[in-house]
Structure 1
Amino acid sequence: MSNRGRGTVQTRSFAAKTHRLDIDGLRGLAVAGVVAYHFGLGVPGGYGGVDIFFVISGFLIAGIIKSELDVGSFSLAGFYVRRIRRILPALVVMAVVTTLFAAAVLFPVDLKAYGRSLLGVATSTSNYVFAHETGYFNGPATGKPLLHTWSLSVEEQFYLAFPLLLAVVYRWRRDAAVAVLVLIALLSFAYSVRQVDLRPERAFFVTPTRIWELLAGVLLALGVAPRFASRVLRESAAAAGIALILFGYFYFTNQTPFPGIAAVPLCLGAVLVIYAGSETSAPPTVVARFLSLPPAVGIGLVSYSIYLWHWPLMVLVRYRFPDVWQGEATGHLSVGLAFAAASTALGALSWRFVEQPFRQSRLRNPPRSAFASAALSIALLASLAFWLTNRPGWFHNWPNDIRPLLAEWGTGKGPSCASHRVARGWPAPACLVGASDVAADTVLWGDSHATALLSSVAAYGAAHDRAIIIASYLNCPPLADAVFYGAPKNNHCHTSVDELMKRVMAPDVRRVVIVARWAMYAEGENDGREVFLLSPGPRSDNAPVFSALLEATVKRIAAKGREVVLLGPIPEQTDNIAAAFARHYAWGQSLPPEPTLAMFLNRQRHVLPVLQRLEAVPNVRVVYPHSALCDDKVCHYSKDGAPLYRDTNHLNRTGAAAISGIIAQVFSDASSNGSAKASGDRKPLATLSGTGPSTAVP
């Protein structure tokens, strides 16, 4: 994304050219695709413009390095000085200005996340920061002003390693350089294809899945392909290249698995356009003449700055004034065009007053001055990042009525066992709630959805002289023998689950209550951030594997004479409810619509059938909390004007209290001794038909 400068490219196969206007135009086409995609201007695959930039960068950088190696003038220090002067000034100015506006606009929890991403920018690792936080195409990504810097980090990491690798291999054995780079490119491509299937959100960001795209341009610059002897071949290649790029722009969508195989048309298209225009002794192709037109060249020259400014502009305006952005509503096209025009204007200003002065400046002792400037810039951004991360919200005196919401929103993981008695003999961090002078014979086992109910369960236990074990483990499904193929970091769950399965078989345990964010494990997806694949096959295999694991786990416990109570799914919201209420109170923004019952049933389409089957198993009960949160039309997120959720899917204290009747059913001995199939709140059948019980919140 960053290599937008002029340079002399001289390769074995391509004659030297001082400057290629068609490559400027290709850069213009690339940034136009990205901007059009982000601003909703009818280019659903425009995000592929980034891949075109990668090819261009690889081609130009390799050409420059090779030409210097050929004449013995290559210097690593000189190369890095040019990159610093080309990339850093505009990036730092954008980051500092964006930080000032972010501090004035973002709520504390988002400002803290912004601080982490700013540190990623300072250290050229923002692609990995975002790989662990969000997916590129999902909702939360639109609240991250520095998300677009992921591609700059990929290039910067490439610039750190590639020149040294090429210099060493090229000087050692020139004929081996191409072979080594081809091998690396093939390994990167294979890894990209595999990771798109396993961990698509992460695959989009990380450098190993993108190296092959940069190397496609590198190999072209190193002369791996013969010259075109025929004008017809050059014209055909250029036309095919543009066709492939446009195919990617207009055929791909945010649902296309990417990069992997889907990136091939865009990268190959860029390679063909560059290759077809590299013959200096022949007239330019029709495509090259089109790309050399002044408007395309002009956009290409300022493409780096346009790219830098367009995303934070959109994110911050959309964050503060979401009603300006109406999705597909009337007027959206004009809004998108206005944002595109504003981004172009900001890019032109940045190019004129930041990029050009720094690139053309004549510094004394350029290496020392450049490296010192880079160190100071990194220190500045890192200091700002540290400040924001450790003191989020310092720029505001938030109104009293939203401070509790901001605190709740910022807790991230909700209630904790830390303030309760330790449950000795149970896998940490299990705790004991309720009565303190009786033995606990009941355990609530689950993921963070179990922790979200802690206050309500503790209140029930205290009121009914019951002691209850809370055994909740973040992002660990209560499924015995589950293997995470898409999220290796969660395989630590095996230890907790294995220990818990042994512990619940002890004679002092009478009842095991199980709760989780069931749909997340059935679907294999968590808000676009993490993939919970329970099968090594495609994601479509996840649901049947989930069903088999849940049934096996429940039957295994019930077969030992323990009563198993399954708590059905908590209805999920389409928006972060605490955030929505904070914006509503602070800025008067409209609250989001409540999700319909049909949306809930669709989300739980793989969950409710298996729960219904398990109701027929001896010693098993199923209780459905949505009967207290949904009516026959919608699933509510508030009660008497107070939010019931702390994010999209976890109940807050008010929400947990709102289903106190459900909690009573779960832990009541009366419910256990009665018919397990008698209560309407334990049967989803009425709700499935659209006529749920009249116990909803309002």
Structure 2
Amino acid sequence: MSKTRPALEVSTLPHLTHPKYRPDIDGLRALGVLLVVIFHAFPRTLPGGFVGVDIFFVVSGYLISSIIFGNLEAGTFSFSEFYSRRIRRIFPALAIVLATAWGLGWLLLVLDEQKQLGLHIAAGSGFVSNLLLWSESGYFDNDASTKPLLHLWSLGIEEQFYIFWPLLLGLLWKRNYSNYNFLGITLLIAIASFAVNILTVHADPVAAFYSPWSRFWELMVGGILAYLVLHRPQVLTTNPDWQSAAGLTLIVVSVALLNKNAAFPGWWALLPTLGTFLIIAAGPNAWLNRHFLSSRGMVGIGLISYPLYLWHWLLLSMAWIVRGKTPPTSTRALMVAASFLLAYLTYSLLEKRMRRGGTRTVIALAATMAGLFVIGLVTQAEILRPRNDHESIGAILEALHDWEYPSGFQKTSFGGVAVRSKTGSAKPVLFIGDSHIEQYGPRIASLLDSDPAQYRSALLLTSAGCAPVPDSGQTNEYRVETCNSYRRHVTTLVHDAQISTVVIGAAWNLYFLKSSPRYSKNMDIDFELANLERFIRSLAVEKEVYLILDNPNGPPFEPRNFFAGTRFSGLTVKPHQESIPLADDQGQLGERLTEIARKAGAKVIDPVAHLCPERRCPAMTAAGKPVYKDDNHYRPFYVRQHADFIDIVLAK
């Protein structure tokens, strides 16, 4: 093959050539989007429907790689035309959905929600939603259902692929690599990306889900297929009908076996990706491809699959936000129907026209997206504010993000374990637990700042969402590996001879009460409490041990529940109720934990005894300031002023 390569960008080049249209691939798009829409609208019906996104990834990788490989080898590739086509294909529907999201946000959201939406609009228009969502993930991240643009994470990964892949292949081509290197580089990236996926799916599942480096392999599966179709089609198909049936079976099996608790993508993602590979490789004449995927209904849905994907989650999420919880089935069905209608109108009235546009259309679309990026940023900066922006709402919104820990503490190592520390004048006190120990950080820091000579040093070994008791069956479904690793560190450190006192605390009410939304039906509470007693007893023979009971919690303490009115009519703040009766089951659990701790040799600290006179617990100050940041964590100002029950463990 000649080593001389034509320039990639010359005005005399013919237009980019595209693979021959295959209606069955539009049918695959339909299958992918239907799985995702049903999963989002009716998750119990199709808990594994999220694999529809993986079908999209393989299809996109196949089509884009076919265009790049074929045109580079023919000498007809043009970066300007390639990206112009991407703009005309992607920008119209995205722009109208982003603009609608902002309008609905202005109408329905409060300031903190609209600020976050503004940032997500900017990220969506800049195709980095996956990176933003990755950075936002954490224990205090708000529910996925309250993020109307959450689904743009997959579009971000695809657009990052569209930028990275042609640039890399164009560079290789210009440097006179033979076309066989296309297969080599595709395989290399696929293997490396798959390895990243496997290595991170347990250690950092959020990164594995959102990172392009752990997802590109799925698009590369499509790229490998594209190369084989161009150069070695004979190796792809032996029995098309059975091959297509096997591919669809793999997709169905993945939908049937998977749910949101699966370690995904991981090895599981091979099922939908290889299934899609087999279906496309079988060719358009395979029986399933010809009669099912190429049917008029599937092709019709496939043609509107992109705007349908964009619209459906925006409407479902807004419906969730308006109701404050999962909407009824009828409302979700209505949102899905509206999504289909909006998708059809977007495709027929906007997308089809824009695809025929020229340079001016491309410039106008790019300018529109840049404008949306700016609108998103100025919304995030509170320059553009929502309709529900009454002055009285401000005090409530301030509470929702009021969290200081680990501010004031130094990150260090003690006994070979990473901890947060605050230096005093005697042997350290070790605090172990989850965020319900972390919430007392402001009080601990203020004591040691005020007079370090009077208090012992403090070490905090904590992990939000993880009970601190070794061998505990309590699990946070998104942090299983993190919690297991954390408990191993606890086991290492609690017996260290330099530790004079251990303070144990956690969200006991959330873990052990059936009324809690985090209660696991699979948890044996009697075993857990006996395990806690054994743990305390093992420590109490060596050193001083304190058990901090849980603070009162539940919906009556949640600042968002202090709003009156509706998001449509306008929100105001209810006349504040300063105290809430302690829930009976929380009081009973506290009594049981007290008995266990004292039998095992620990001293008990009960926030209820200190803060809830006559078992009525504070929710608002007399000035109308929420005491809690959410339904179970105290705010820093309240802890500093009132959590003096912590002082005894630090006093020399």
Q: Give TM-score scaled by structure 1 length.
A: 0.68
> Residue 93 of structure 1: CA displacement?
2.0
> Residue 22 of structure 1: CA displacement?
0.6
Counterparts in 2 of 1:287 and 1:122: CA distance versus 1, 3 Å: closer
> Residue 347 of structure 1: CA displacement?
0.9
Match of 2:399 in 1: 408
Match of 1:256 in 2: 262
- Matching of residues 117-128 of structure 1 within 5 Å: 117-128=120-131
Q: 1:99 aligns with which of 86, 94, 102?
A: 102
Given that 1:135 and 1:141 are in contact with CA atoms closer than 8 Å, whether structure 2 keeps it comes out as no
Mapped pair 1:194 → 2:199: yes
Mapped pair 1:160 → 2:166: no
Match of 2:524 in 1: none
> Residue 202 of structure 1: CA displacement?
2.6
Match of 2:310 in 1: 308
> Residue 596 of structure 1: CA displacement?
8.1
Match of 1:394 in 2: 385
Where 1:132 maps in the other structure, the secondary structure is helix
The runs of 5 or more residues in structure 1 that have no matched partner are: 1-5, 11-16, 327-331, 419-426, 433-438, 506-510, 529-542, 674-698
The AA in structure 2 aligned to 1:58 is G
- Matching of residues 173-572 of structure 1 within 5 Å: 173-223=178-228, 227=233, 233-278=239-284, 283-322=285-324, 325-326=327-328, 332=329, 334-363=330-359, 370=362, 372-373=363-364, 376-391=367-382, 394-396=385-387, 398-399=389-390, 401-413=392-404, 449=436, 452-453=439-440, 559=543, 565-570=546-551
The AA in structure 2 aligned to 1:336 is R
User: Partners in 2 of 1:200 and 1:294 — Cα distance?
Assistant: 39
Counterparts in 2 of 1:386 and 1:608: CA distance versus 1, 3 Å: farther
Given that 2:405 and 2:442 are in contact with CA atoms closer than 8 Å, whether structure 1 keeps it comes out as no
User: Partners in 1 of 2:503 and 2:447 — Cα distance?
Assistant: 14
User: Partners in 1 of 2:279 and 2:31 — Cα distance?
Assistant: 12
For each residue in 1:421-466, what CA deviation from the matched residue of structure 2 results, as whole angstroms up to 9, or x when unmatched?
xxxxxx999699xxxxxx99998967864574478889999xxxx9
For each residue in 1:278-313, what CA deviation from the matched residue of structure 2 results, as whole angstroms up to 9, or x when unmatched?
5xxxx4423332111111111111111111111111
After superposing the two structures, state which structure 1 stretch, 205-214 or 118-127, moved more: 118-127
User: Partners in 2 of 1:135 and 1:301 — Cα distance?
Assistant: 37
Counterparts in 2 of 1:616 and 1:410: CA distance versus 1, 3 Å: closer
User: Partners in 2 of 1:213 and 1:182 — Cα distance?
Assistant: 11
- Matching of residues 85-96 of structure 1 within 5 Å: 85-96=88-99
User: Partners in 1 of 2:259 and 2:367 — Cα distance?
Assistant: 40
> Residue 175 of structure 1: CA displacement?
1.8
Where 1:213 maps in the other structure, the secondary structure is helix
Mapped pair 1:112 → 2:106: no
Match of 1:582 in 2: 563
Match of 2:146 in 1: 143
Mapped pair 1:621 → 2:596: no
Counterparts in 2 of 1:251 and 1:218: CA distance versus 1, 3 Å: same
User: Partners in 2 of 1:458 and 1:76 — Cα distance?
Assistant: 57
Given that 2:37 and 2:309 are in contact with CA atoms closer than 8 Å, whether structure 1 keeps it comes out as yes
User: Partners in 1 of 2:123 and 2:636 — Cα distance?
Assistant: 35
Mapped pair 1:82 → 2:64: no
- Structure with larger RCO (C-alpha < 8 A, sep 6+): 2
Given that 1:454 and 1:470 are in contact with CA atoms closer than 8 Å, whether structure 2 keeps it comes out as no
User: Partners in 2 of 1:664 and 1:113 — Cα distance?
Assistant: 35
User: Partners in 1 of 2:341 and 2:618 — Cα distance?
Assistant: 42
For each residue in 1:116-146, what CA deviation from the matched residue of structure 2 results, as whole angstroms up to 9, or x when unmatched?
222322332110111122389x971110111
The AA in structure 1 aligned to 2:282 is A
For each residue in 1:76-98, what CA deviation from the matched residue of structure 2 results, as whole angstroms up to 9, or x when unmatched?
22211111111122212211221
User: Partners in 1 of 2:193 and 2:167 — Cα distance?
Assistant: 19
> Residue 382 of structure 1: CA displacement?
2.8
For each residue in 1:204-228, what CA deviation from the matched residue of structure 2 results, as whole angstroms up to 9, or x when unmatched?
1111111111011110010179546
For each residue in 1:254-288, what CA deviation from the matched residue of structure 2 results, as whole angstroms up to 9, or x when unmatched?
1222111111111111111111125xxxx442333
The runs of 5 or more residues in structure 2 that have no matched partner are: 1-14, 410-418, 469-478, 519-527, 575-579
> Residue 391 of structure 1: CA displacement?
1.3
> Residue 100 of structure 1: CA displacement?
2.0
Given that 1:442 and 1:468 are in contact with CA atoms closer than 8 Å, whether structure 2 keeps it comes out as no
Given that 2:536 and 2:600 are in contact with CA atoms closer than 8 Å, whether structure 1 keeps it comes out as no
The AA in structure 1 aligned to 2:277 is V
User: Partners in 2 of 1:589 and 1:317 — Cα distance?
Assistant: 21
The AA in structure 1 aligned to 2:177 is W
Given that 2:122 and 2:376 are in contact with CA atoms closer than 8 Å, whether structure 1 keeps it comes out as yes
Percentage of matched positions with identical amino acids: 30
Counterparts in 2 of 1:358 and 1:260: CA distance versus 1, 3 Å: same
The AA in structure 2 aligned to 1:266 is P
User: Partners in 2 of 1:97 and 1:360 — Cα distance?
Assistant: 24
> Residue 393 of structure 1: CA displacement?
7.6
User: Partners in 1 of 2:596 and 2:76 — Cα distance?
Assistant: 74
Counterparts in 2 of 1:375 and 1:314: CA distance versus 1, 3 Å: same
User: Partners in 2 of 1:77 and 1:230 — Cα distance?
Assistant: 33
Counterparts in 2 of 1:105 and 1:235: CA distance versus 1, 3 Å: same
For each residue in 1:622-669, what CA deviation from the matched residue of structure 2 results, as whole angstroms up to 9, or x when unmatched?
3244678999xx9989589996531143124797599x6xx5655469
Where 2:563 maps in the other structure, the secondary structure is helix
User: Partners in 1 of 2:510 and 2:17 — Cα distance?
Assistant: 52
User: Partners in 2 of 1:240 and 1:99 — Cα distance?
Assistant: 43
Given that 2:388 and 2:571 are in contact with CA atoms closer than 8 Å, whether structure 1 keeps it comes out as no
Match of 2:415 in 1: none
Match of 2:11 in 1: none
For each residue in 1:652-695, what CA deviation from the matched residue of structure 2 results, as whole angstroms up to 9, or x when unmatched?
4797599x6xx5655469x999xxxxxxxxxxxxxxxxxxxxxx
Where 1:622 maps in the other structure, the secondary structure is strand
Counterparts in 2 of 1:314 and 1:181: CA distance versus 1, 3 Å: same
Where 1:565 maps in the other structure, the secondary structure is strand
RMSD of equivalent CA atoms: 5.3
Counterparts in 2 of 1:379 and 1:519: CA distance versus 1, 3 Å: farther
Q: How many residues align?
A: 575
Where 2:239 maps in the other structure, the secondary structure is helix
User: Partners in 2 of 1:575 and 1:272 — Cα distance?
Assistant: 53
Counterparts in 2 of 1:573 and 1:256: CA distance versus 1, 3 Å: farther
Counterparts in 2 of 1:395 and 1:547: CA distance versus 1, 3 Å: same
Match of 1:676 in 2: none
The AA in structure 1 aligned to 2:166 is P
Given that 1:413 and 1:448 are in contact with CA atoms closer than 8 Å, whether structure 2 keeps it comes out as no
Given that 2:87 and 2:366 are in contact with CA atoms closer than 8 Å, whether structure 1 keeps it comes out as no
User: Partners in 2 of 1:474 and 1:409 — Cα distance?
Assistant: 25
User: Partners in 1 of 2:356 and 2:646 — Cα distance?
Assistant: 72
